[in-house]
Structure 1
Amino acid sequence: MATLDDGARTPSLPSPLRNPCPPGVGAPALANEGGGAMHSRGRLGWIASLVILSAAAFLSPPRPARADLPNLPLFGPFPIITSFSPTSGLPGTVVTINGTNFTGVIRVDFGGGSAAYTVVSATQIQATVPDDALSGPIVVATSNGGSGSSGANFFVGLGAVITGISPTSGPAGTLVTITGRHLANVYMVAFHGTSAPFTVVNDGEIDATVPLGATSGPVTVSYSVGEATSDQVFTVPGPLITQLSPTAGTVGNPVTITGQNFTGTTSVRFNGTTANFTVMDDTQITTTVPVFATTGFVTVTNPNGTGTSAQTFTILGPNVTQLSPTAGTVGTPVTITGQFFTGTTGVRFNGTAATFTVVNDGQITTTVPAGATTGLVTVTNPSGTGASAQPFTLLVPRITQLNPTAGTVGTPVTITGQYFTGATRVAFNVTTATATVVNDGQITTTVPAGATTGFVTVTTPSGTG
């Protein structure tokens, strides 16, 4: 009988059945038990093996086909790429690929182009960028059917490099020259993250303008799959105040601050007191004098620093120039004349609070309060306190005559003098008597029981005389 080596008698198998085993798994032996020609019993065993293997082949789940990698069974662990260097280069550039599970690597691709490579260890591969490489991720395939792709793209070509910036400081609007290599394909320039207008002069130079809102930091240029950052820091100067208008005022007065580098301002302060403000543009801020502001410097702060005015801003507190009248009793109406009375919160007669009305910025009307004593009159508003130059004299009762000057209990007495209006008590040597205020200059009374020889006194809310 012919053996399986006899080509004429070897069964013709469909191609899927010629080697139904997975790669690396040998087909079952077709020799007979003694190593010689197979007899009919051996042929039956061979046929049975083919049936089993064929069933296994047809019942196995299909693996997705890949045009770029061998069709391999999927058994982990799979390769993982964690980094590679350099990140760009021309064909022929040697790239170091770092990661894990590189044992059994069968292919390294650069954008679909198969590269020559050397597996240095299970965590490193040295690969050469192939001539047909395209920009994109690097893919490593292993014999267990797995593959790993880099998270970042490899740029086929020469990546941009910044070698210098000039000048290294300046406000918004400053023209900055960026020098380097491979700058022709740059599509964005940023100063510490803020995009800037620019012009590519040539492959080694870019002219960029410092944008509004830029802050101090490195300069970056972006190209198709990456970016380059300057080693030098570009410094954007902080705010510069050149003028305050006006340079004095009261709380609530509008103030215009002129200067430079105001974009991005986060704070305006009057001698440390925070104010509301509006940034009109990079050179002007409008604000108002805040409550509790005091005389001192004005500051403007933004992310690049703080600028301070050269001149102080003077807070104009109330200025009392005249009192009319300058003397009176409790309840006497008084007119206060001066400046900066708007927003007045208090009027006091030698410390005693009085009711008042602000007629305008230059005039207040008030009345002498009960309990007032001779002294200065003060006016207070959020800008401060102003005091009168002259004191207000409180007019207490003044007795000029008693008629008669002697008598018994019940004797009528006429008291003559001044400032008797509002009298609340008449006493004969401390003994209280009944009395009638006839007018501001006269009181009638009678000597009370229990009175003793001594002085007669008249008391009003203004005092005792």
Structure 2
Amino acid sequence: MKTNFLLVLAWLCVLNACSDSEEPPAPTTLQNPLIISVDPKVATAGSSIEITGSNFNSYASEQTVAFVKDGDATEVTTTSRTDSQLTIQVPNALASGQYTIKLSWEQGSTTFDGFSVKEPEALQLTISSISPLSGEVGSTLTIEGTNFSDNVADNKVYFVSEQTSHEAELKSAASASLEVVVPDLKPESYNIKVVVNDKSNFADQSFVVKEPSPVITEISPMETELESIVTVMGENFGTDPDLITIGFTSNGSTIYSHDFELKDGVVKVKLPPNLSAGVYNVHLEANGEEVISSQTLTVTEIATPLVNAIAPNSGRILDKFKIIGSNFGTDISKISVTLQGANANPITVTGITDKIIECEIPNYALDAGDYLIEVTRKGVPATYSVAHDFTILPLEAEVSGMSPSSGTAGTMVTIEGSNFSTRVEDMEVQIAGGLSARIISVNRNEIKAVLPCDLAAGSIGLTLRQVSTNEEIALGDFNVTEPTGTVAYCMSPNPVARGEQMTIYGNNLISSGITNINFVPENAAVGTVFSVPSSTDGGKTLSFKVPKRGHIGTYTVIIQLSSGDVKVNGILEVK
């Protein structure tokens, strides 16, 4: 028992001895970080670099990374970390040059001396394409390339020609494309220039600003007759009618009109005479482009005009009257009104609606009497629901004066008044004794007449007779005076035929040598000179035959006397 007790005690002692001799485990030793390499070794400010090494997780919470140059350190943050790699961004504030990258912790640091910051490379601004290559003002142009700015305000686009450089509005911007609004420029070819901050470049391709495409917005009326006028309204027709073509299309065939006018962007076109009744689209070409109307035009046959009344149905020259009915249209050029008597006498149409024609008896002499009114529209005769007689009433002329009241034979007198016929053959100026003055011109208020050349000096009575009414009006007396000095005041007959005998009346028409006559054509400087017999009555007259080989026309007549040239009053008409 004693032996067992001792053994147990010895065993316990051994256990206690072993337990007292064990030591705690030694603490783990952290390894210092080490930079092995940097990639890239040369980089621009703001770019990322990777630092390769070991033990980067040691003392991680204490670590700082800095770029050191000339004793100045610029710290940066680590953007990613593993035990063997750190990723950092080169500070934007770093200037170019060599730097030491220093990794520090509380117990120490490690460095890398082979890193440099370089200036950023200039980005090249390139233009690869523009699309489309042509377009109208206000359309969108897309420019593709590289190194544009995403900020619209940083980009400038210019349309450049020899005469102008015009900045365009940008709709959108991205680094590889720009959307540009074509500015308000005249149609021609332009170079495209892009400016981004301090960089610029020209596109290889040019852009053509086109005339805007024509657009037809309305046709008026949409239904009308043959040979009518149609108004075509729209946009971008241009201003030069020579650059417009307009026609009417049906079943793939187009009949063009050459009778139209362009004003204020509106085309008024007459339907072609070879157009048939039917349904048409308007075909218009302008600015090199064509457009076909979406609206259709219905063309019908010409409606027969109908006359229901004439009010009043009588009148004198210049009196007005109306023809009342229907289907007259509105084109005054297509209506014809005549008075049918011995001849068809045109009546002046002053206004028209589809139901009323406004007329005026024209200013020429018509014999008083009854006529038939005839109306045609576009060549289609009217029908009549009433009698269409019209009576021309006699014209009552009035005289207010005559001048001059005295002068040599051959003097031209002017008769003033109203309601004169406008036909020379319808008026006479009669002289007591059966003679008549030669009427030179007539209008409603004035008659010019030349007195005969062979009137004797003294007082003569003049009377105006209107042939159409056989009306006579006394004009008063005219005092015929003797000429004085060297003058040539009259030629008779006038007009005169070639080879016919004529006489020049005057005073002192005597020459010591040969007497020549010079016929100078009107509006000419040189005439035909020929000799005539000398005066046989003391210079009162020169009689001779007009040369047969002369030209028909009007002449100024000059008498070449030894004392000088004398121009004969009036103009001679050779027939």
- Output the TM-score relative to the length of structure 1: 0.34
Q: Which has the higher strand share?
A: 2
Larger Rg: 2
- Output the TM-score relative to the length of structure 2: 0.29
Comparing both chains, which one has the higher relative contact order based on Cα–Cα distances under 8 Å and sequence gaps of 6 or more?
1
